[in-house]
Structure 1
Amino acid sequence: MKRIGILTGGGDCPGLNNAVKWVVNTALDTDLEGKRGQSFECFGINDGWHGIVEVDPSNERSVQEHIRPLFKSTVRTWDRYGGTMLGTSRTNPFNPENDQSEKVISNMRALGFDVVIAIGGEDTLGVAAKLKAKGMNMIGIPKTIDLDLPGTEYCLGFESAVSIITEEVDRLRTTAGSHERVFVIETMGRHAGWLALEGGKATGAFIILIPEYEVNANYVCDLIKKGDDSGLRYEIIIVAEGCKICGGEECFQGKETDDFGHKLLGGVGERLAKIIKQKTGHDTRHVVLSHLQRGGPPSAYDRRMGRAFGIAAVDLIAREEFGKMVSYKDGRITYVDLETALGKLHTVDVDKEYDKEILNGPRELI
């Protein structure tokens, strides 16, 4: 009987619970147990890496607080809900100011985990890759609404977030048109502009600004004036939070950083809206979608991908192919080495997937 630990780390998003459910369902499938010749137990680790750092394996109350057994009956309805039923955190066991990686390893061994499945983005899977290097059995499932993880063409949460952006822009469009306003809508996207780009394409945004292409605010204003001249009553501008305008500086909400050294981005939409109002005279408003993009139930696509990623993770464990990240490439489920999560981020290729002249999606595809 092998013990599987499961955790979710980093920002929450729709699709996490689907992946957990299908890890449990697949691992505990009695028909598959006979075919595999091995059986599993599943345990949820509460609050990401924080849970495995804080648990005291010798204390029953501590174990009950941070670790919970998962059965098919436990997770039966989890796929209907957004967020993560296991909880999450941005704890970094390898934080150089407070390295607790050896404690994580000790706790994993004391709890009898044969393997831990980490569901997360570059930070969460980066920790998993480092633990792999220290001899621990790890499996990764990609999750980030930014879609910036290397080694995979899809990450859980992305399509749900794009759907939310589309819904919110549709609502804002009616008031923009009624009042002849310019709306600057700020999406998430620290280094990669996928959310802004795909959300902008889905909503027919007038201008889309992404971190991969630095633009002068004056040029944005010139495009707005051209739109006015062509008879547009209003303009929708979508800007990713990591965009650089006005001298190439990112906008931060403060100086504080998380456990992985990231500052909290935010404010580029407000800054751009002020410039547009000043230079064009338009009634200009800004809206920050913020955590709305992470909320709510998963889209149909994320439900299906969560299922596929969860099943594939157990397939890898059954084959004892540890140290891998489940991946989606060329239309099929596959896997790559966990170290891939530490590689160059998956960002928008502005020469192929962005029109620099109109600051939007490409006008030619073939």
Structure 2
Amino acid sequence: MRIGILTGGGDVPGLNPCIKAVVNRVAHDGHEVVGLRRGWAALLQHDPDDPSSAAEWFQPLTPSSVRTIDRTGGTFLHTSRTNPSRVRAGEVPDHLASLAAGEGPFDFTRHALRVVEALGIDVLIPIGGDDTLSYALRMHEEGVPVIAIPKTMDNDVHGTDYCIGFSTAVTRGVQFIHNLRTSTGSHERIAVVELFGRYSGETSLVTAYLAGVDRAVISEVPFDVDRLGELLLADKRANPSNYSMLTVSEGATIAGGDMVVSGEEDAYGHRKLGGIGELTAALLKERTGEDMIVQVVGYLMRSGAPDSLDLMVATNYAVMAADLALEGSSGRMVALRGGTYTSVPMSATREGVKRVDVDELYDASQYRPKVRHVTGKPMFLY
């Protein structure tokens, strides 16, 4: 059997251990693994009529070649946000230019299927979030055997309680917040910490919950700046060190406003987020007169090696995915449900959205975590 493996979307700690575990699981039985470089871009950019292009887009993976990759974060296969079913006119490869009549976007899935067949790939194992796995589901529906592995530090892939990268992201966030307390307290300011999280505020919520942050703004609940300012000012005055702290999801919105975005849409219809922290701090300064510290944690949340939990989940997901592939399964996604490793139909990823349970986990009037009870909840309350 020849297995293709790829990573798409944002990088998270745990991807390299996951790749390594797949290779080690199947190689000793004589199966072959090929890495697709830069995610789904490999299937778009490779020209089967020009075999020389394969070296840039595909990499044979052996136990020897992956021996040390688990010692670092990120993905050594690289990644992209390419969607072969939605390619803009300016991004069409030269070898497909004759098929790109009009303004686009263009669907080159037929070409992607041709590449899979030309390479002799028997099953694909994509590691990704909602966007990457949405195209994985398309490939499955087109007849390609696919076993998916969920990863995203937002932990918002529907169908699983846990995605690779989430624990490390929260761990990093808690560490940075505790470190930032020294400067915030020394200067007697209000600190605004912007964390990743587009549509789900779980990263902001759980990080604030564990770090004991005064207030947390999440993507699910638009916030009133005046009310938030009053609360943070009261928190500061009640603190013997005369400071207060706020976490903000990058996808959070001010009541009546929109997400703070920039740049063009990517192949999945998303524009780059970032800036809500700066905007919130500026508005809070106007209202409170207090000096602010603004810290965008951003990419640092998903940099470096995984923590032990992400390392364990990544390894176990890889073993499960490899076993399903060798058994001849298709259209499945490995998952954690109720604390147990399992698999679910890949179609579960589009059967709903995964968001913070505001009623159970958040006080929307006080802008802070408020966990009513934990009995019966998943490990990360989500």
In structure 1, the gaps of 5 or more residues are 34-38
Partner of 2:363: 355
| Contact 2:150 2:333 survives alignment (8 Å) | yes
Partner of 2:244: 235
Q: Deviations over 1:23-74 (max 9, x none)?
A: 1111113xxx3xxxxx421111111000121112343321122111111111
Partner of 1:42: 33
Partner of 1:27: 26
- When structure 1 is superposed on structure 2, of 328-337 and 173-182 the one drifting more is 328-337
- Mapped partners of 2:239, 2:142: distance in 1: 62
Partner of 1:57: 48
- Classify 1:337/1:247 alpha carbon distance in 2 versus 1 (closer, same or farther; 3 Å): same
Alpha-carbon shift at residue 228 of structure 1 (Å):
3.6
Partner of 1:194: 202
Q: Which residue of the other structure, out of 248, 256, 271, is the alignment partner of 1:247? A: 256
Partner of 2:105: 97
| Contact 1:9 1:90 survives alignment (8 Å) | yes
- Mapped partners of 2:4, 2:258: distance in 1: 41
Larger relative contact order (C-alpha < 8 A, sep ≥ 6)?
Answer: 1
Aligned residues: 356
1:84 equivalenced with 2:93 (yes/no): no
What is the one-letter code of the residue matched to 1:252? V
Q: Which residues of 2 match residues 98-117 of structure 1 at below 5 A? A: 98-117=106-125
Alpha-carbon shift at residue 173 of structure 1 (Å):
0.9
Partner of 1:331: 339
- Classify 1:75/1:46 alpha carbon distance in 2 versus 1 (closer, same or farther; 3 Å): same
RMSD between aligned residues: 1.4
| Contact 2:360 2:372 survives alignment (8 Å) | no
SS of the aligned residue for 1:73 comes to coil
SS of the aligned residue for 1:48 comes to coil
In structure 2, the gaps of 5 or more residues are 87-103, 375-382
- Mapped partners of 1:228, 1:47: distance in 2: 46
Partner of 2:229: 221
Q: Percent identity between the aligned chains?
A: 38
Alpha-carbon shift at residue 246 of structure 1 (Å):
4.2
1:269 equivalenced with 2:269 (yes/no): no
SS of the aligned residue for 1:257 comes to coil
- Structure 1 runs of 4+ off > 6 angstroms? none
What is the one-letter code of the residue matched to 2:259? E
Q: Deviations over 1:283-307 (max 9, x none)?
A: 1121111211121111111111110
- Mapped partners of 1:299, 1:58: distance in 2: 43
Alpha-carbon shift at residue 203 of structure 1 (Å):
1.3
Partner of 1:147: 155
| Contact 2:233 2:244 survives alignment (8 Å) | no
What is the one-letter code of the residue matched to 2:34? F
Alpha-carbon shift at residue 163 of structure 1 (Å):
1.3
Partner of 1:73: 64
- Mapped partners of 1:211, 1:162: distance in 2: 16
- Mapped partners of 1:118, 1:133: distance in 2: 15
Partner of 1:36: none
Q: Compute the TM-score of the two structures, normalised by the length of structure 2.
A: 0.90
Partner of 1:313: 321
| Contact 1:47 1:87 survives alignment (8 Å) | yes
- Mapped partners of 2:6, 2:276: distance in 1: 33
- Mapped partners of 2:49, 2:3: distance in 1: 19
Alpha-carbon shift at residue 329 of structure 1 (Å):
0.8
- Mapped partners of 1:284, 1:42: distance in 2: 51
What is the one-letter code of the residue matched to 2:108? Q
Alpha-carbon shift at residue 356 of structure 1 (Å):
2.2
| Contact 1:93 1:99 survives alignment (8 Å) | yes
Q: Compute the TM-score of the two structures, normalised by the length of structure 1.
A: 0.94
- When structure 1 is superposed on structure 2, of 133-142 and 242-251 the one drifting more is 242-251
- Mapped partners of 2:221, 2:207: distance in 1: 17
